[in-house]
Each structure stands twice: as structure tokens, then as C-alpha cells.
């Protein structure tokens, strides 16, 4: 049988009151068992069969109308910090000071608006303060270490503190995305960048194979509305993130290149942005110059420079439209995954009954975490 005749899976994701459907490219990412698309779907199916806990608090990012706004997130962050500070680490770790919303966002009383000349700080109102996020990310990396070399802090922490350490990273990225989305909603609503990060506690990770790294070059940093991308399932910042965040404090040990896949996935829910767009083309030129100045090679596949695209949400079938703002509105009222199905002959599925409205949602996640770093076991 020709490989084009072999059925390939699609994924159905059910939210509160709607479902969307993910289709895969049968030629480039689903041809044979050695292809990444096939291996990734098999990993996802294992996650569903084993009923791994879906991490719902770190799922829908950059939705400006979410109940999880900046004040709410800072409150959660400070509760997390209190737990970490209360644990007696050996060796001791510095006491982390609490954060306020002002640490992450410039005041709305400052000039706010678009900056056609590219000088963002000429209108800093409501912009993200990267310094606080970079500091928070450093705390997380110090306390957790890498999946292949855990820190002594993480190894000796109890389950509640391990969970709190994990939340430093989750809340850092959730805060970043909310602040950016909130400003965009006010100054340029069509360019809000909402996304979905679909991760599971205990999701096993698998090493990318040599040929997989060429897939980063196929897509580079293009992001399409409804595009489904391989999840970053390790600690540290990519070179692209260091460049964008202007993170001068991160050391070589804090920079990583993608090495793993995990059956987890991200979805771009913002407008399509490719190098056909002038500002994206300019950003990529600046990024390539930055790489060269820092002795990195844009064409080195091991640097994993880009996003691997796995598939595409069928927007018309799922939402009845391909209009971004209409899709955003539908999603904003349904930010809770209740079921995921992989459909290919025999369906593999899992229901996710708890929600962030459940009073015990944090305890459900803590109970799912084991001692050590088994939530990111590797094969």
C-alpha cells in the first residue's frame, strides 16, 4: 500500500461548549514509523491511555479577558514564593521577595500606543517589564536545574515545594503573556497573541532523532492561526527567547536547544505571522545578526532554531470561520479542556473532569507529582 493511502490520525479537543479538530500533514510528518509525527502521536496516545493529569493552570495563555489577570497571578505567585521560602533547603537558598503587579507592568499613566518608529520605550505604558520575568526565571532554573541534572534544592524538596518550584516557571510565562495581551487588546486588538500549551504531569520525554532537527528549518519561526507545534519540554531559554527578552543576565548554562519531544503540543491562536510580513522579516534579520555576533550559526540544525509544525486546526470545521477575532471570542468563553481524542481506527481518549473552578485543583496536581523528577521521566 502506498503511504498516501495509509490513514493518518486527527485529534479532537473538547472544551466546555465547543470542539476543535487537528489535522496532520500525511506527507512530511506522518510517513512511516520513524517519522517524528508518528512518534509524537504515539507519545500523546500513551499520555491519554495512562490518564496523565492535564496541567490546566498553564494551558491558555495570552487571553486578556481571562479571570487569571495580573493581580490574580501575582497573588498565586506570592503564595508560591511563601511555600518556597518556608522550606529549609540544604544548602540554604536566598529568600525570594514577593512581587507586585507594578514589578511586571509599566503604569497605564505613561504614554501608551503604537510605535511606528520602533522605539517601544517612547510609549512604555502597560508594557511588560522584562527584568522581573528574567529574575523569576533565574529563581526557577536555580531551584530546579535541568531534567538531566536536577539541582540539589529540587532533589531534597518535599512535594509541595517541588510543585511550587514548577509554578515559578508556569506563572512567569503566564504573567508575560497576560501583560502583553492586555496591552495589545487596548492598542491593537487584532494582534493579541493568545496560545495554548497542552502539558501533562508525568509526561515521558524522548530524544529527538538526528533527522528531526531538519524540521526546524522547514518552518523556522512562522506561526499560523491554528498551527500546532512541538512543545518545548525542558528547562532553560532558547536562543530566540534570549534575543527577544534582551536577557543579558542569562549565562550559557541557562541557554538550551530543543532536544526532546513529549507527546505534548502548543497551538497558536493569534493571527498568522510569517517572514512575508515586513516586521517579521526585519526581526529575523536582527536575530541572525545577533546569532552571528554571539558565535552561533543560523544553519546549524542542532541549535533547533524554529518551531516544528505538527499539524493545523481545521478552523472552518471547528469554529465556522477563519476570522481571528471571531475565533478568539469563542475560545475566550471556553478556556477549559474536558476531553482529548486521537482518532485513527480505534479512538484513544481521556476525559479531564476537574477545572480551575474546583476548590482542590492544586491538590489534584500535587498528588499527581511524585518525589524526584518523575513528572518528566525520560526514555
Last residue of a domain, one of 128, 161, 189: 189
CB-count burial class (<10 Å; 0-12, 13-18, 19+) for 16: exposed
Residue 1 in any domain: the answer is yes
Cell numbers for 312, please give them.
493545523
Residue 223 in any domain: the answer is yes
Angle at 208 between CA 206 and CA 209, to 5 degrees: 125
My answer on whether 244 and 364 are in the same domain is yes
Q: pTM here? A: 0.89
Question: pLDDT 10s digit of each residue in the chain, 379 long?
Answer: 333 444 567 999 999 999 999 998 654 555 566 789 999 999 999 999 999 999 999 999 999 999 999 999 999 999 999 999 999 999 999 999 999 999 999 999 999 988 877 788 899 999 999 999 999 999 999 999 876 788 999 999 999 999 999 999 999 999 999 999 999 999 999 999 999 999 999 899 999 999 999 999 999 999 999 999 999 998 778 999 999 887 666 667 778 899 999 999 999 999 999 999 998 999 999 999 999 999 999 999 999 999 999 999 999 999 999 999 999 999 999 999 999 999 988 899 999 999 999 999 999 999 988 644 444 433 3
Domains of the chain: total: 2
Length of the chain: 379
Q: Give the Cβ contact number of residue 242 at 10 Å.
A: 19
My answer on whether 102 and 21 are in the same domain is no
Q: Give the Cβ contact number of residue 316 at 10 Å.
A: 10
What's the CA gap between 18 and 182, in Å, rounded?
Answer: 25
Buried residues in 204-239 as b, exposed as e (16+ CB within 10 A): bbbebeeebbebbeebbbbbbbbbbbbbbbbbbbbb
| Torsion sign, CA atoms 295, 299, 302, 304 | positive
Angle at 288 between CA 285 and CA 293, to 5 degrees: 125
**Phi–psi pair at 213, nearest 5 degrees:** -65, -20
What's the CA gap between 321 and 333, in Å, rounded?
Answer: 16
- Alpha-helical (H) ranges within the chain are 36-49, 70-86, 101-104, 130-144, 152-156, 159-187, 214-219, 239-245, 278-293, 315-319, 324-332, 361-368
Residue 113 in any domain: the answer is yes
Cα–Cα distance list, 41 to 9, 20, 160, 196, 368 (Å):
8, 17, 32, 18, 23
My answer on whether 150 and 117 are in the same domain is yes
Last residue of a domain, one of 189, 219, 246: 189
CB 153 within 8 A of CB 142: yes
My answer on whether 123 and 162 are in the same domain is yes
Structural domain range at position 163: 64-189
My answer on whether 272 and 364 are in the same domain is yes
My answer on whether 254 and 359 are in the same domain is yes
My answer on whether 339 and 235 are in the same domain is yes
Reference 231, options 194, 274, 199; nearest CA is: 199
CB 44 within 8 A of CB 342: yes
My answer on whether 242 and 307 are in the same domain is yes
My answer on whether 145 and 215 are in the same domain is no
Residue 254 in any domain: the answer is yes
What are residue 311's DSSP bridge partners? 24, 228
My answer on whether 184 and 290 are in the same domain is no
Cα–Cα distance list, 107 to 44, 70, 125, 133, 171 (Å):
42, 13, 5, 17, 21
Residue 326 in any domain: the answer is yes
My answer on whether 302 and 358 are in the same domain is yes
My answer on whether 79 and 96 are in the same domain is yes
**Phi–psi pair at 215, nearest 5 degrees:** -70, -25
Last residue of a domain, one of 138, 170, 189: 189
Residue 352 in any domain: the answer is yes
What's the CA gap between 203 and 233, in Å, rounded?
Answer: 9
Residue 58 in any domain: the answer is no
Residue 59 in any domain: the answer is no
Amino acid at each position: 500500500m502506498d503511504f498516501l493511502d495509509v490513514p493518518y490520525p486527527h485529534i479532537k479537543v473538547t472544551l466546555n461548549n465547543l470542539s476543535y479538530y487537528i489535522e496532520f500533514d500525511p506527507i512530511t510528518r506522518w510517513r512511516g514509523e520513524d517519522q517524528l509525527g508518528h512518534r509524537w502521536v504515539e507519545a500523546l496516545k500513551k499520555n491519554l491511555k495512562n490518564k496523565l493529569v492535564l496541567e490546566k493552570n498553564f494551558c491558555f495563555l495570552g487571553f486578556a479577558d481571562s479571570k487569571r489577570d495580573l493581580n490574580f497571578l501575582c497573588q498565586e505567585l506570592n503564595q508560591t514564593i511563601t511555600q518556597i521560602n518556608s522550606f529549609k533547603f540544604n544548602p540554604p537558598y536566598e529568600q525570594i521577595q514577593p512581587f507586585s503587579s507594578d514589578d511586571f507592568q509599566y503604569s497605564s499613566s505613561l504614554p501608551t500606543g503604537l510605535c511606528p518608529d520602533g522605539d517601544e520605550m517612547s510609549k512604555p505604558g502597560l508594557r511588560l517589564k522584562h527584568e522581573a520575568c528574567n529574575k523569576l526565571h533565574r529563581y526557577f532554573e536555580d531551584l530546579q536545574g535541568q531534567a538531566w541534572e536536577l539541582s540539589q534544592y529540587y532533589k531534597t524538596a518535599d512535594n509541595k515545594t517541588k510543585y511550587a518550584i514548577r509554578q515559578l516557571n508556569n506563572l512567569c510565562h503566564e504573567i508575560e503573556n497576560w501583560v502583553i495581551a492586555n496591552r495589545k487588546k487596548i492598542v491593537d486588538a487584532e494582534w493579541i497573541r493568545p496560545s495554548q500549551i497542552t502539558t501533562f504531569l508525568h509526561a515521558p520525554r524522548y530524544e529527538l532523532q538526528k533527522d528531526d532537527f531538519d524540521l526546524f528549518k522547514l518552518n523556522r519561526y512562522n506561526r499560523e492561526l491554528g498551527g500546532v507545534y512541538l512543545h518545548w519540554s525542558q528547562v532553560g531559554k532558547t536562543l530566540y527567547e534570549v534575543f527577544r527578552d534582551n536577557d543579558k543576565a542569562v549565562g550559557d548554562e541557562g541557554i538550551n536547544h530543543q532536544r526532546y519531544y513529549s507527546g505534548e503540543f502548543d497551538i497558536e491562536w493569534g493571527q498568522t505571522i510569517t517572514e512575508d510580513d515586513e516586521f517579521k522579516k526585519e526581526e529575523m534579520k536582527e536575530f541572525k545578526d545577533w546569532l552571528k555576533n554571539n558565535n552561533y550559526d543560523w544553519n546549524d540544525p542542532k541549535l533547533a532554531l524554529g518551531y516544528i509544525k505538527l499539524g493545523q486546526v481545521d478552523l472552518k470545521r471547528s469554529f465556522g470561520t477563519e476570522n481571528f477575532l471571531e475565533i478568539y471570542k469563542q475560545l475566550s468563553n471556553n478556556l477549559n479542556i474536558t476531553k482529548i481524542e486521537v482518532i485513527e481506527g480505534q479512538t484513544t481518549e481521556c476525559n479531564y473532569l476537574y477545572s480551575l473552578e474546583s476548590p482542590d485543583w492544586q491538590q489534584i496536581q500535587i498528588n499527581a507529582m511524585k518525589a524526584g523528577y518523575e513528572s518528566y521521566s525520560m526514555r
